[in-house]
Amino acid sequence: MSFDPAFSAQRLSYQVPGLGESELATTPLAQFRTWYDDALAHPDVTEPNAMAVATVDAHGAPSVRTVLLKQAERLGFVFFTNYASRKATDLAARPVAALDLVWMPLHRQVSVRGVVERVDAAATAEYFGSRPWGSRIGAWASHQSRVVASRTVFEDRQREFAERWPDSGRPDDVPVPPDWGGFRVRPVEIEFWQGQPSRLHDRLVFLPAGADPEAVRVDAGAGLPVLDDASGWQVVRREP
């Protein structure tokens, strides 16, 4: 095999402070908030809440896409989508997912594995009302993930719904589509990765207290720990 230097020669040595156990917050939520605030404040990080979401379908085939994280709270990480989309269809068949947020200017990433549940209708309505009017109209116009003959098809739908629900400046001027809402990923594993020189990166991982670090199951078992309770978690270091 002949390696293309456009790929193989690309290397960056991460000359930044490491992440030691003594610097880690006592809960995964506190640690995530600290790192997220750092990313939010960094001038070279655009869309700090952009995250990859990986799912598997009923046949075990994987898919991954980038969405926007809309909440990080004690129960987990929340994003919103069309419930008829590929990701939602995957999650209906297998309610597990992996998330990855990467902040390269800080040489950091947070990786999550967990079980998935829908958020309630009230939370969906609250978030939907906070979106810009155009995004709310777009949620009606797009049959997300379906094949479409041309862009004109959904642009025509967009105009139709824009005429039906003109922008009045109110959060309730566009109703929530019946097939649109939120998912919450409830973690069973949260890894904080800090780049280090010579690829000897720091990887500190929050796992449920008492779980086997080498065989953590991602399933819908009862008793998933909340993210702001230190007693529910243990921390292990993984080799880079």
Q: Check whether 70 is labelled as a binding-site residue.
A: yes
Higher-pLDDT residue of 150, 15: 150
What 3-state DSSP class applies to 66? strand
pLDDT per residue as tens digits for the range 157-177: 999 999 999 999 999 999 999
The whole-number pLDDT of residue 108 equals 97
The whole-number pLDDT of residue 222 equals 59
Indicate yes or no: pTM above 0.85. Answer: yes
The whole-number pLDDT of residue 32 equals 98
The whole-number pLDDT of residue 190 equals 98
The domain limits of the chain are: 15-131+179-237
- Fill in the DSSP letter of residue 235: E
Q: Check whether 196 is labelled as a binding-site residue.
A: no
Residue 3's pLDDT band, with cuts at 50, 70 and 90, is: confident
40 close to 47: Cβ distance less than 8 angstroms: no
What 3-state DSSP class applies to 31? helix
Rounded CA-CA distance 146/66 in Å is 17
Domain 15-131+179-237 falls in which CATH fold?
Pnp Oxidase; Chain A (2.30.110)
Backbone angles phi, psi at 198, to 5 degrees: 60, 25
Helix or strand holding residue 183 (H, E) = strand 180-194
DSSP secondary structure letters along 84-120: TSHHHHHHHHS-EEEEEEEEGGGTEEEEEEEEEEEPP
Q: Check whether 19 is labelled as a binding-site residue.
A: no
Q: Check whether 142 is labelled as a binding-site residue.
A: no
Rounded CA-CA distance 240/230 in Å is 25
The whole-number pLDDT of residue 154 equals 83
Catalytic residue among 74, 199, 237, 238: 199
Rounded CA-CA distance 40/184 in Å is 22
Nearest to 101 by CA among 67, 71, 125: 67
Q: For this structure, is 199 an active site residue? A: yes
Least confident of 43-47, 105-109, 146-150, 199-203: 146-150
Residue 219 pLDDT > 90: no
The whole-number pLDDT of residue 22 equals 95
Structure tokens at 80: 């919103």
Rounded CA-CA distance 42/72 in Å is 19
Looking at the chain, the number of H-run helices and the number of E-run strands are 6, 9
